[in-house]
Amino acid sequence: MTVRAERRAAEGAGTVTDPRLLRNVALVGPSGAGKTTLVEALLAHTGTIPRQGSVGDGTTVCDHDPAAVRQHRSVTLAVAPVRYRNLKINLIDTPGYGDFVGELRAGLRAADAALFVLPATAGADGVIDPATVALWEECAAVGLPRAVVVARCDQARADVESTQLACQDAFGAGVAALYLPTPPTPSAADPRHLPTPDGLYGLLTQGPGDPPAGAEEARATLLEGIIEQSEDESLMERYLAGETLDVDALIDDLETAVARGSFHPVVPVCAASGSGLDALLELLAGGFPSPLERPLPAVSLIDGGAHPGLAADPDGPLAAEIVRTSVDPYVGRVSLVRVFSGTLRADTAVHISGHVPAPRVSPEAGSDTSAGHDVDDRLSRLYTALGATLQETDLCVAGDLCALTKLTGAETGDTVSAADHPLLLRAWELPEPLLPIAVVPQERGEEDQLARTLAKLVAADPGLCLERSPETHQTVLWTTGEAHADVVLSRLREAGAHVETEDVRVPMRVTLGSAARVTGRHVKQSGGHGQYAVCHVEFEPLPRGSGFEFRSAVVGGSVPTQYVPSVEKGIRAQLDRGLPVDGAAHPVVDVRATLVDGKAHSVDSSDAAFQTAGALALREAAEVCGVVPLERVDEVAVRILDEHLGTVLGDLSARRGRVLGTDPTDTPGRTLVRAEVPAAELLRYQVDLRAMTSGTATFTRRFARYAQP
Ligand SMILES: Nc1nc2c(ncn2[C@@H]2O[C@H](COP(=O)(O)OP(=O)(O)O)[C@@H](O)[C@H]2O)c(=O)[nH]1
Ligand SMILES: [Mg+2]
């Protein structure tokens, strides 16, 4: 990767026309690692912003969302481009907290490489915590090249060396120090002994200054790592023979190995003192891949037809993807876009495609989430986004990121292509929202406004799923966790919707308590046209999962043939309307009805009369046999670290769960537990499981059956 670029990028408004001059770098790591602060420091260091803001004060470029300011942590992804040399480096800040993994994945999608940021205290116990390893695995799953940044080096208990060793243990041998911090010079003026701004010693360049303790060993590890990755077979022999190796050639090999995703250099930085920022920028410029080196997402025609595939070519067909949608009080909907192929230009006709059959398989959330859309729209303006600040620009080439406004039909995950050449990119995988919250408008009559606001929210946030339950008459929002729920509620309130939350109700079923033969009698013969229908029906409960069965054993035409289906229809209608338990009606399942006898009248009998008689028969059966409540049971699959097995099994049994099996998974050290658990016991499982396993477990659930509690 030679980025000793030939061409100077266009000055002004952030426009770059050559993808080789672009870097898209996601900052990934646990909450509190210092990512947002690091972006802020890089922005200030490169002169992009005049003054460095702080997360605590809510004054950073990336944590501009009111929910982020309130939670003191990032809740969405944010983009901040910096200029370094003649490059435009789009820094993509992502939230580290598990609830926002949807935002993280969108950020990874927009990026070509990642800086994996850890606080220098992360390795204090000798191990990297499992939630952090899970984040590393998110990056690995999409094959993103990454370097490790050990941040917050100036803090109490900071230990760069042990953090780096713990990273090697957790992430593999491809992790090696590229720089070591130089020991701070004791000074009377600064009793904290902060590292000096350039307080790093380069292991490859062997400078500046004297090597700090351990430098020789660390250099050997680094060189061996690079040589192992190098295509130059003779390198190892020459190294072992003690030959002095050419530093520039080693740097080239390092770049190749990083871009390949198999080598992860470690750079310590301190955003507070500015130490390490130059080294980091050098690495991003020289060692990180340009958009040309990143495989592009799969693409098809919008009817699903095959497409030969795309390249990061500004002259290719336009294919861009919306990675984030937000609403600005002044400009309206803002869509953050990564251009994969072609060039986006202001004032052009585009096609917006969203076929995301969102893999939100949250069991209750079924139907109304996956409607696809295909619309033509017109781009009026293009912007470069610096956090929430938009600056107008005229074009955005393949590999770059920009913001578009007023695309009313566009949702996160949608493809933007040319109106005369519509394309569809295969969207990334979304997390499954598993924490339900039920919302009601504070005032009656605000239902419509709430529905409109919710529709907008769901369009912007693919991690959110909306369910309107006809059975419980509740509006349920499926979220990825409590912090996400908090963001959703604050967005609703910001949009002017006055809502309260209420307990989520789980739909119930009922069945009959015993068998009985009953009579449904609908006879009205006073005045005018009468109604006459009598049916004798035997009802019996069936095994769980049988549903409803209807038979006719009528002999001799006591119920005329044409009215037999009427009786069935009447019973079915009543099954759906339900039978009451504790004052509320619930749908009836697992029942057989056998029509055995009845009476009809030559003039007054009708389809409607026999339907009513059928319904009455079921209600009569409920009186005679009693009604038994059935609760919804789901099958859950929980992936956990082996060490949590005891806790998780104990908890499942406390939830009245029945374990179906515990099996090893493809990943060593992880177990898959399958169990059947009453849905009412799973309402807060997302939160509780996370707490029990320090955020390392994941689960899925799907409807299994209805069962007697
Ligand atoms: N002392 C010190 N504190 C830092 C540094 N970087 C970040 N912090 C603090 O660590 C906390 C978390 O930082 P933040 O940037 O929000 O982390 P993020 O969650 O990874 O984005 C904030 O209170 C920061 O002020 C640093 O280099 N030195
Ligand atoms: Mg942050």
Structure tokens at 492: 């609703």
Q: What residue owns the CA closest to ligand 1's atom 26?
A: 152
- Apex 260 CA angle, 259 and 261, nearest 5: 90
Q: Where are the domains of the chain?
A: 19-182+195-293, 299-425, 435-505, 509-625, 631-707
Categorize the per-residue pLDDT at 369 as very low, low, confident or very high, splitting at 50, 70 and 90. very low
Give Cα 144 distance to the centre of its chain.
Answer: 17
Which tens digit of pLDDT belongs to each residue from 321-350? Answer: 999 988 777 778 889 999 999 999 999 999
Bridge partners of residue 376, in order along the sequence: 351
Rounded to whole angstroms, how far apart are CA atoms 16 and 5?
12
Burial of residue 521 (number of CB atoms within 10 Å: 0-12, 13-18, 19+): middle
Q: Indicate the SS3 state at residue 542.
A: coil
Alpha helices in 56-210 (DSSP H): 66-71, 101-110, 130-141, 160-171
Nearest ligand to the CA of 115 is 1
Rounded to whole angstroms, how far apart are CA atoms 389 and 357?
32
Rounded to whole angstroms, how far apart are CA atoms 88 and 701?
44
Q: Does any ligand 1 atom lie closer than 6 A to the CB of residue 272?
A: yes
Structure tokens at 664: 């090893």
Q: Does any ligand 1 atom lie closer than 6 A to the CB of residue 152?
A: yes
Q: Please name the helix (run of DSSP H) or strand (run of DSSP E) that holds residue 391, with its range, or none.
A: strand 389-393
Q: Does any ligand 1 atom lie closer than 6 A to the CB of residue 530?
A: no
Q: Does 448 score more than 60 pLDDT?
A: yes
Query: Could you tell me the distance, in angstroms and rounded to a whole number, from the CA of residue 95 to the centre of ligand 2?
Result: 5
Ligand 1 atom closest to residue 96's alpha carbon, by position in its atom list? 19
Crossing angle between the packed helical segments 160-171 and 130-141, to the nearest 10 degrees = 60
Rounded to whole angstroms, how far apart are CA atoms 222 and 219?
5
Beta strands in 122-250 (DSSP E): 146-151, 175-177, 179-181, 200-202
Q: Which of 27, 42, 43, 39 is nearest to 103 (CA)?
A: 27
Structure tokens at 684: 């807060």
Ligand 1 atom closest to residue 93's alpha carbon, by position in its atom list? 21
Cα separations (Å) of 100 from 27, 84, 348, 487? 14, 30, 34, 10
Ligand 1 atom closest to residue 60's alpha carbon, by position in its atom list? 15
Q: What residue owns the CA closest to ligand 1's atom 12?
A: 32
Q: What is the DSSP letter of 421?
A: B
How high is the pLDDT of residue 607?
95
Bridge partners of residue 631, in order along the sequence: 508, 707
Structure tokens at 673: 């537990």
Structure tokens at 112: 């070509």
Rounded to whole angstroms, how far apart are CA atoms 7 and 21?
9
Domain 435-505 homologous superfamily, CATH: Elongation Factor G (Translational Gtpase), domain 3 (3.30.70.870)
Q: Does any ligand 1 atom lie closer than 6 A to the CB of residue 121?
A: no
Query: Do 534 and 596 form a contact (C-beta atoms < 8 A)?
Result: no
Query: Could you tell me the distance, in angstroms and rounded to a whole number, from the CA of residue 539 to the centre of ligand 1?
Result: 68
Q: Does any ligand 1 atom lie closer than 6 A to the CB of residue 48?
A: no
Rounded to whole angstroms, how far apart are CA atoms 265 and 275?
17
Ligand 1 atom closest to residue 269's alpha carbon, by position in its atom list? 27
Which tens digit of pLDDT belongs to each residue from 225-264? Answer: 888 888 888 888 888 888 888 888 888 888 888 888 889 9
Ligand 1 atom closest to residue 27's alpha carbon, by position in its atom list? 20
Rounded to whole angstroms, how far apart are CA atoms 663 and 673?
7
Nearest ligand to the CA of 195 is 1
Structure tokens at 525: 């013969």
The answer to whether the 435-505 and 631-707 domains have the same CATH topology is yes
Class for domain 299-425, per CATH? Answer: mainly beta
Instruction: Please compute the mean of the pLDDT values over residues 655-684 and round it to a whole number.
Output: 94
Query: Could you tell me the distance, in angstroms and rounded to a whole number, from the CA of residue 406 to the centre of ligand 1?
Result: 34
Query: Do 586 and 508 form a contact (C-beta atoms < 8 A)?
Result: yes
Categorize the per-residue pLDDT at 365 as very low, low, confident or very high, splitting at 50, 70 and 90. very low
Ligand 1 atom closest to residue 117's alpha carbon, by position in its atom list? 20
Q: Does 443 score more than 50 pLDDT?
A: yes
How high is the pLDDT of residue 371?
53
Nearest ligand to the CA of 41 is 1
Q: Does 132 score more than 80 pLDDT?
A: yes
CATH number for the domain running over 509-625: 3.30.230.10
Query: Could you tell me the distance, in angstroms and rounded to a whole number, from the CA of residue 470 to the centre of ligand 2?
Result: 39
The domain over range 19-182+195-293 is classified in CATH as 3.40.50.300: yes
Query: Do 290 and 20 form a contact (C-beta atoms < 8 A)?
Result: yes
- Phi, psi dihedral angles at 138 (to 5 degrees): -60, -45
Query: Could you tell me the distance, in angstroms and rounded to a whole number, from the CA of residue 34 to the centre of ligand 1?
Result: 4
Query: Could you tell me the distance, in angstroms and rounded to a whole number, from the CA of residue 277 to the centre of ligand 1?
Result: 15
Rounded to whole angstroms, how far apart are CA atoms 41 and 91?
12
Rounded to whole angstroms, how far apart are CA atoms 241 and 234?
11
Q: What residue owns the CA closest to ligand 1's atom 2?
A: 152
Query: Could you tell me the distance, in angstroms and rounded to a whole number, from the CA of residue 244 to the centre of ligand 2?
Result: 42
CB atoms within 10 A of CB 626: 13
Query: Could you tell me the distance, in angstroms and rounded to a whole number, from the CA of residue 29 to the centre of ligand 2?
Result: 9
Q: Does any ligand 1 atom lie closer than 6 A to the CB of residue 94?
A: no
Count of CA atoms in the C-beta half-sphere (13 A) of 425: 29
Query: Could you tell me the distance, in angstroms and rounded to a whole number, from the CA of residue 30 to the centre of ligand 2?
Result: 9
Nearest ligand to the CA of 76 is 2
CB atoms within 10 A of CB 708: 9
How high is the pLDDT of residue 14?
57
Bridge partners of residue 176, in order along the sequence: 265
How high is the pLDDT of residue 189?
52
Q: Which of 88, 89, 3, 76 is nearest to 36 (CA)?
A: 76
Q: Please name the helix (run of DSSP H) or strand (run of DSSP E) that holds residue 570, with its range, or none.
A: helix 564-577
How high is the pLDDT of residue 64?
72
Mean pLDDT, all residues of the chain: 87
Which tens digit of pLDDT belongs to each residue from 9-27? Answer: 333 335 888 999 999 999 9
The domain over range 631-707 is classified in CATH as 3.30.70.120: no
Ligand 1 atom closest to residue 273's alpha carbon, by position in its atom list? 27
How high is the pLDDT of residue 360?
39
Share of the chain above pLDDT 90, in %: 48
Query: Could you tell me the distance, in angstroms and rounded to a whole number, from the CA of residue 4 to the centre of ligand 1?
Result: 33
Share of the chain above pLDDT 70, in %: 92
Beta strands in 562-617 (DSSP E): 579-581, 584-586, 591-599
How high is the pLDDT of residue 36?
92
Alpha helices in 441-550 (DSSP H): 447-460, 482-494
Q: Does any ligand 1 atom lie closer than 6 A to the CB of residue 673?
A: no
Rounded to whole angstroms, how far apart are CA atoms 288 and 264?
11
Rounded to whole angstroms, how far apart are CA atoms 29 and 96?
5
Ligand 1 atom closest to residue 40's alpha carbon, by position in its atom list? 15
Cα separations (Å) of 286 from 3, 272, 523, 612? 6, 24, 90, 80
